Structure 1
Amino acid sequence: MNKAELIANVAQKAGISKKTAEDALNAFTDSVAEAMADRDTLTLIGFGTFKVSERAERKGRNPRTGEELTIPAKKVVKFQPGKGLSERIQ
């Protein structure tokens, strides 16, 4: 499912226009991005938790040349599904 399909699905299920659904989805994604930028944890009970995690510096290898290189540390967003979502996909 892509963003346009998600917007159409939300609009149909909520009985709202596609423009309203798109505005709501954009507001949601902006809010999640702001929370992640502030290093907050976002928990949606029954759905899951978004959180920022730190990935340590590590050694890697260039697959073309075989040369060893250092992959720098960075922050990544992780998602852990909640109980309700996990049960629904079983």
Structure 2
Amino acid sequence: MSDLLTLTRADIAHSIYRRTRLPRAHCQAMVDAILQHIADALAAGENVKITNFGTFILRDKGERLGRNPNNGTEVSIAPRRVVTFRASNALRDAVF
């Protein structure tokens, strides 16, 4: 898996720049604004659905018991909220 490429914020901004020829700073600001808006919505407890891409879903995980792999002792894992991603059918069809 380590030989796979990683898409970064800068890559997305550069792609927007190539397609629109808007100033690079504006493209970077657009990417940052979109990602911040998604993060803010998730922090406020909202799910985020992007049509033909997928849905970021908040899930609450309850408290559970885990084991310390070093010595096998039981450890209580605190409840927490996690973000999961469910790809849309259009994205799945494009990828697979």
User: TM-score, normalized by length of structure 1?
Assistant: 0.88
Q: Distance in 2 between matches of 1:14 and 1:6?
A: 12
Shift of 1:2: 2.1
- Letter paired with 1:11: Y
- TM-score norm. by structure 2 comes to 0.84
Are positions 1:24 and 2:40 aligned together? no
What are the superposed Cα offsets for residues 1-32 of structure 1, whole Å, 9 maximum, x if unpaired?
22222221232133323211110111111111
Structure 1 unaligned spans of 5+: none
Once residues 37 and 61 of structure 2 are traced to their aligned partners in structure 1, the CA distance between those partners, rounded to angstroms, is 23
Structure 2 stretches lacking a partner, 5+ long: 1-6
Deviates more, 1:16-25 or 1:71-80: 16-25
Distance in 2 between residues matched to 1:14 and 1:89, nearest whole Å: 25
Partner of 1:79: 85
